[in-house]
Structure formats: structure tokens, C-alpha cells
Amino acid sequence: MWNDTAKLLKKARRRLWMKYALRGVGGNDNHERLELAYRVEDPWNMDSAMERSRFEATNRVIEQAFGRVGSVLEIGCGEGHQTQHLARISDEQYGLDVSPAAIERARLRLPQAHFAAADLFQQPWGEQRHRFDLVTACEVLYYLSDPAATITRMRHLGRNGLVTFFAPACGRVGPHLDAIPGLRKDWIHHGGTAWLIGWWRDE
């Protein structure tokens, strides 16, 4: 009983903190508030069954669409929870996040992966076209002021691309995604939560 109570209290504290930390974050590149969120560990509850189901569904799409991936660049990698899943289907993992605190934890979680505290336009691993076999942006695009510019950058750096986002963001993010030639889309569901997943090839 005590364990259940402790879990509920932790959940309530996280929700309260995130409600405060994420004020004014949506659609405006507010890096300071995103860093503030990481004053608590796992602020997005990425270790939950819901998020793990999304990671697993995303891996299945990647495997079906692209097979095993050589190198993957993950935009908004956070503390590396999804990176752990991507490591099962890729040879090299590169992760970006604007939060230095998140990147420190990601490095502890996956010492073999490459991480940098930077955004996509400042990534340190080379500027050549199709530098990476796959570039992902999962649960990221709705925090950005210019999703179209990010998708263009993803297409330059990656031979293939993949994004996911919550269904309510379709109105804002969906049109940018639909402009990609050869885009394929599907839905991921867990309980009452739905995410759109989109992927493409730029070879």
C-alpha cells in the first residue's frame, strides 16, 4: 500500500511541476522552459507503459520500412529512454536535446551512444547530405516555432525520416508533414491516447 501511495505522490508532483515548467512552451522554441522541466528526473514519464508501447510501435515501423538502420539521429532525445529502444534496431545512435541536464542523464543511460546538448541546426556530426541513415523527431515538432524548417533539415541530413506526435497536434503539424513527397502515415494507439506516425525516404 505504501508503494502505491508513493507512486501516486510522485505522479502528482511530476504533473504539478510540468504544469509550471511548460508554461509558454508550445510552438516557440522555448529552450529555457524545456531545461527547467528536467529539474526532475523523467519529467515526461517516459518510463511508463504508455510511452514504452509507443517506442515499441515506432521500432516496428522502422524495421518494416527501413530494416536495420546503420546510423540514427534522434532529435529531442531527452534522457535517452527512446534511444535505448532505437539501439535495438540500429548500429549507431546520435541524440540531440536542448537540455544539458537531459543529455547528462542520456550519456549515463547509453554510454556507447553519441549525445550533444544542441538543436538540429547546431548538431556537431557533419553537414553533408544524408549524413545519417535515419533522422527521427518523436514528440518534438509541436514545441518548435518552424516545423517546416526542421523537416527540411531532417531531409537534408537523413536518407530516411520519421516523426510522431499526439493526435491533437495534427492541425498545426500535419500540413508540414503532408508536404513531404512519398510520405506514409499510420496511427499508434495506447488506451485512449493516439499518435500519428509519419515516415519517408529521401534516397
Q: What is the CATH number of the domain that holds 196?
A: 3.40.50.150
Same domain, 29 and 108: no
What per-residue confidence (pLDDT) applies to 10? 74
What per-residue confidence (pLDDT) applies to 11? 73
- Enclosing domain of residue 10: 2-37
User: Does 1 have pLDDT greater than 70?
Assistant: no
Entry pTM: 0.92
Note whether residue 42 is domain-resident: no
What per-residue confidence (pLDDT) applies to 99? 95
**Which 3 state secondary structure label does DSSP give 75?**
strand
What per-residue confidence (pLDDT) applies to 4? 65
Q: What's the DSSP call for residue 24?
A: T
Residues 37-87 pLDDT 10s: 898 899 989 999 999 999 999 999 999 999 999 999 999 999 999 999 999
What per-residue confidence (pLDDT) applies to 22? 73
User: Does 163 have pLDDT greater than 90?
Assistant: yes
Sheet with 193-201: strands ordered across: 114-117, 90-97, 69-75, 132-138, 158-166, 193-201, 184-190
What per-residue confidence (pLDDT) applies to 28? 66
Q: How confident is the model at residue 126 (pLDDT cuts 50, 70, 90)?
A: very high
Indicate the number of domains in the chain: 2
Distance, CA of 112 to CA of 95 (rounded, Å): 11
Same domain, 125 and 31: no
Same domain, 15 and 63: no
